[in-house]
Structures are given as structure tokens and as C-alpha cells.
Structure 1
Amino acid sequence: MKLLKELALAGTIAISISSAWNVADAAEKISVAHSTWIGYGALYIAKEKGFFEKAGLDVNLQIIEASSDAIAAMQGGQINVVASTMDNFALFTGNGADLEVLTALDESAGGDGIVAKKEIATVADLKGKSVGVQKGSVSQFLLAQALNKAGLSLEDVHTIDMKSGDAGAAFVAGSVDAAVTWQPWLSKAAATDFGKILADTSSMPGLIVDALAAKSDYANEHKTEMKAFVDAYFEGIAFMGKNPAEGHEIIARNLKMSTETLEGTLKDVRFFSKQDNAAFFSGDRSPAFALVSQAGEFYQKIGVLRSTPDAAKVVGVAGELAK
């Protein structure tokens, strides 16, 4: 009898181990590329707290700073999912990348903006002034929208092409009248005795939105896995809301910054909740559709697009996954 019990126990253990191996083998491997932007940090929370694993996913997070490099890696099959801005996805799609957005992550809420000399009172006063801005980028997109609200266009200012960080540095050095840049250069410019923040994304909600996208065929062939991925990500967001100290520590450690530095910049970003994401992609003419359309029209107007992206196709899968 004792021998029979031992054999039965051994059989149970063997079955349990075999089942565990089968689950591990069955886990869908998903590689995600992102830059070191804090808005992507909740991906690490979902991974470290086991939300991806619980959903049957083996998620590998990789840092690739340039979106163009990440998109190239995705096109080549080395990466499954890429994090970037919605306008960037419009740009890449219009230039031949067949991709679809999966979910929105966050929006800039003061982290990007225009700095100017103190005597420039309003955006309208930029007319005829020199502005450092990276052409064909989200910074130029931001500048164009701000100028449009003030009744101006890009043709009304003297733009000097430079990367966003360099534009901030050039302004602090006194080389340009204004610059389109991001933190920490916004704060550095405001700290000078001659500069100020003229406008930032805290007054432009929904303009710079970060998201995740995948190749169209991958997104459509793996909808079940992508739905599980998106839901697990938002479990990470919910966890951070309830456990901010632990959530911030996970983000800071993985992005290799101090918790103090992270918390000092969190005011400039607004993470999307699951409900925010659903609202962003809700309806045939959703805010996401409008943003991709707006960005596509802008980039085509300035001559950096081969064709206008199909906004409905770009955001269609995300609308399904958000339900």
C-alpha cells in the first residue's frame, strides 16, 4: 500500500512538472522596443509584478533610443512591438511601414513646449523670430499647431533645423529667439534671466500621445495575445496607481534614473488608464483617428511623407483591443 501511494505521488509530481513545462513552452514570446522615456515605464511594472506571465506571455523589453531603428528592427522581424508617438506612427505608415497601433500609453502634459525670450509675450509674437526646431519631428508638429492657433504658420517664423535637445541648449546659450524642446531644457530655459516657457503641452492635451504598435500582419494574426498583452499592461498601470512608491521604484531602476529624478518629471506626463485608452479609440472618428489624420496631413504638407496614412487602419486594431 505504501508503495502504491509513493508511486501515485510520484506520478502526480511528474504530471505537475510536465504541465509547468508545457505552460512555459506555450508562453507567447513578445519583444518590445522603447526609448528611455518615463511614459513607457509601466511596461516594467507589468513584467516585474507578473501580469504578463499570468496572461501567458513571455515579454522581453529592449531599449532602442531611435524610433526609426526600432521600426527597422520590427520590419526585419527582430522586434514585435514598438513604443513611439502617434504622430510618428502616422509618419512611418505614410512612408511604407505597414503597422497598426495596439494601445495608447500616455500623453505629454507639460514635458514638451516652446521656450522664448521674455519680450516675446505670446505665440503670435514669434512672427519673424528665429526658432530652433527639429524638422520632420513631433517638435515641429507641436510648433505648427501652436502657430496655427495663433493665426500663423511655419512660414511666418525663421526655423533653424536642430535636434530638440540641441534646440534647448541653443536657446540657453542665446543663439536663437525661441526653441521647441522638452524637459529638462524647458526648466533650464525658464531658469535663465532672459527666458521663459511660452507654451507647453499642459495646454495642448492629446497632441503628443505615446502608444504601442506592431506590424499589421502580426497584430491581426495575434489578436488574442495582443488583447492579453494590453490588458496585462493596464494591470501594471492600476498597480502603480495603488502602489506609487513601488511602481516608481520599478520604473526608475529599469530606466536607470534615481527615484527623485523620476518623480520630478512625472508631473509632465499623464499615464492613460484603461478607461482613458478606451475613450481615445472609441468611435469611427475617435480622438486617435483625428490625431493620426492631423499628423499625416501635416507631415505630407511639409514634404516628408510619400502618402497620407489610412488613419482608420492605423487605429482599427487598438479600437478592438480597447473593448
Structure 2
Amino acid sequence: MPGIGKPAVVLAALTLLLAACGDDKDDSDSAGGARTKLRVAALPLTDSAALYLARDRGLFEKEGLDVTIQPVQQSIQALPALANGQVDVIASANYVTFLQADEKGTLDVRVLAEGVRVAPHMMDVLVPKDSGIKSVADLAGKKVAVNILNNIQSLTLNAILDAKGVSRPVYRQIAFPQMGPALERDQVDAVHAVEPFDSAIQGDLKAKVLLDGGAAPVESLPISGYVTTQKFAAGHPKEAAAFRRAIEAASKIATQDPDAVRQELPKYTKVTAGQAEKIRLPSYPATTDAAQLRRLTELMKKQGLLKKDLDPATLLVK
């Protein structure tokens, strides 16, 4: 989607999201008041694999839930819908955006379950095959594409570069689907792409991996999760718990059987079955760890993305 960061396009996408989710809002409560129908916004990323596994393996059904999945291109697009109760959960929600919204008071965030943690080469800094950028040090001052400015990609890349003593690049906001074309047209010098876009750009453009985005000191860092609001978590505790159990069960499958994820990816992303076989997968934690989340909040505070100290344990839904 060209120019997905522009307000008009985001508004249009959000309008479609609300329209898709709003039709059955009145049907979501049973006669006893328990909500069995949940609306979940999700990105077409490897981060969302547990969500689709839970759907296709009948794990939601086992928990008595009827889950409708609404695809979005950026989790931030669904933030207003979550705040208004028009979606109940955002899957593959990047923590940075939602923790910032919580600190600002625009959203009372609760984390139902972890999505993924950083793993080797699940995201990479890519440069054109004939690029003059030969080393990580050459990134200093160069234009690097990230999906959203001042977010998880720049946060993690800054941490890696800081550890190497390399000056930071200049970030440009370009949606994941448009990173390949932007790199091909020399609109940026490099892209920081996540799977499945990482492998696709390498395959289509023969782009070179300059840097593993999962390198120290961000290895195993939590980067996304299944986020809801305090209002939903408090008002529907049984449904929240049921959703968490289904996701955790699916995450165990993803960890124990990576091929299950690879078989799932072509169903909700644009990758082919052949491409899915080569994709580097993130880590799918089966339980949410406040100590690991604290690594993220401390890094955010260090880079100025949070103004105050935050104890992530206070945000976890039990």
C-alpha cells in the first residue's frame, strides 16, 4: 500500500476495519452476558502465527470462543478501534506503540499473551546487491526504512549500533510491503525488514544482509503481543483467560513444530509455500515473562521512548 503512513490512507484502512468489525457487535454477548465472539485485528506477519494456528487447530473453539480476525497493515491502525471497543484484541501488536499509548493515557493497555521474541535473522538490515554500504559502520547517517518511526525496529537497531559504537542512521517510515520497491528505486539506502518481507526482498532483489536484527544486545527481546484494554480484561475475565490459553497452546505448537507455522503462513500472508520453508521464524514464548518485558521497557526508557519507569507486571492479565 503506497504511502500507508499518510493520514488519508490510514483513515481509509481504519474505516474498513470498523465497518468489518461493527456488523456483529450486538451479537457478541450471549443471553447469560458472557461474550463468546471476539474480534481480533492482526498483521500479516510471522508474529501472528499463533493466532491463526489457534483458529485452524480448533483451539479457540475448544475454549468456547468464536474469533473473527481482521487483517491490518499496521497495528497502530487498529488502536482507535481497540480504544472504542470495536475490536477486542490486537494481535502482533508492537509493544512500543501500545506502551507509549498507555503512558500518555490514551489507552489503558493490558497484555493477554506474548506474541514473539527476537530470534536470529527474523529481521535484517538489507542493502541492494550493488550497494556501496559494505559494513555496519557505513550505516551512519544513511537512510534506513522502518515500518513506523520511533518504534521497535529503530529501538532494536539503535541498541545494536550503540553496542558497536556506530553512529545512528536517519530513519524513513515505509510500510513493510513497500520496502522492496523503495530499496529498488534508491529512495532509501537500506531497509530494516521483518519476515516474511525480509526473505521476499532478498529473493526478489537479491538484496544483501548487512546486519542481523536479532543480534546482541536485543536477542530474545519481546517485541509484540496480544493486547487488549483494562476495560475488556476486567469486564470479560473468563473470555480473556480463554483467549490467553488458546494462544499459549498455539505458541507451544509453534515452538515444538516450526513446520506448522510454515504451513500456516501462506494462508494469511503473501508468501508462497516454497518461501515459507526458508523463512527465519521468531521465538514463540508459551508464557508471558514480566522480567523479559522489563528488558524492553528499560530499553525504551533509555532511548527516550518512555518518560517514566514502568513495571510491565502491572499490565499482565492473569
TM over 0.5: yes
Cα distance in structure 1, aligned partners of 2:139 and 2:313: 35
Residue in 1 that maps onto 2:46: 38
Residue in 2 that maps onto 1:253: 267
1:207 Cα deviation from its structure 2 partner: 3.8
Residue in 2 that maps onto 1:290: 295
1:76-115 pair list within 5 angstroms: 76-83=84-91, 84-95=93-104, 96-109=106-119, 110-115=121-126
Residue in 1 that maps onto 2:208: 196
Cα distance in structure 2, aligned partners of 1:251 and 1:167: 20
Cα distance in structure 2, aligned partners of 1:131 and 1:246: 33
* Larger deviation, residues 79-88 vs 53-62: 53-62
TM-score (norm 2): 0.72
Alignment partner of 1:123 is 2:136? yes
Cα distance in structure 2, aligned partners of 1:100 and 1:27: 18
Paired residues, number: 279
**CA RMSD of superposed structures (Å):** 3.4
1:56 corresponds to which letter in structure 2?
G
Cα distance in structure 1, aligned partners of 2:205 and 2:66: 47
Identity of aligned residues (%): 22
- Per-residue Cα deviation, 1:100-129 (whole angstroms, up to 9, x for no partner): 212112124323222347654543343344
1:197 corresponds to which letter in structure 2?
V
- Per-residue Cα deviation, 1:202-233 (whole angstroms, up to 9, x for no partner): 32423462201111222234333322221122
Contact 1:27 1:58 in 2 (8 A): no
Contact 1:132 1:161 in 2 (8 A): yes
2:230 corresponds to which letter in structure 1?
S
1:131–1:52 Cα change, 3 Å: closer
Q: Which runs of 5+ in 2 are unaligned?
A: 1-29
Alignment partner of 1:236 is 2:234? no
Structure with greater helix percent: 1
SS of residue paired to 2:220: coil
Cα distance in structure 2, aligned partners of 1:258 and 1:119: 31
1:175 Cα deviation from its structure 2 partner: 5.0
SS of residue paired to 1:65: coil
Contact 2:222 2:293 in 1 (8 A): no
Contact 2:109 2:315 in 1 (8 A): no
1:41–1:132 Cα change, 3 Å: closer
Cα distance in structure 2, aligned partners of 1:249 and 1:186: 16
* From 278, 281, 293, the counterpart of 1:268: 281
SS of residue paired to 1:202: coil
TM-score (norm 1): 0.71
Contact 2:199 2:275 in 1 (8 A): no
1:58–1:186 Cα change, 3 Å: closer
Cα distance in structure 1, aligned partners of 2:149 and 2:315: 30
SS of residue paired to 1:268: coil
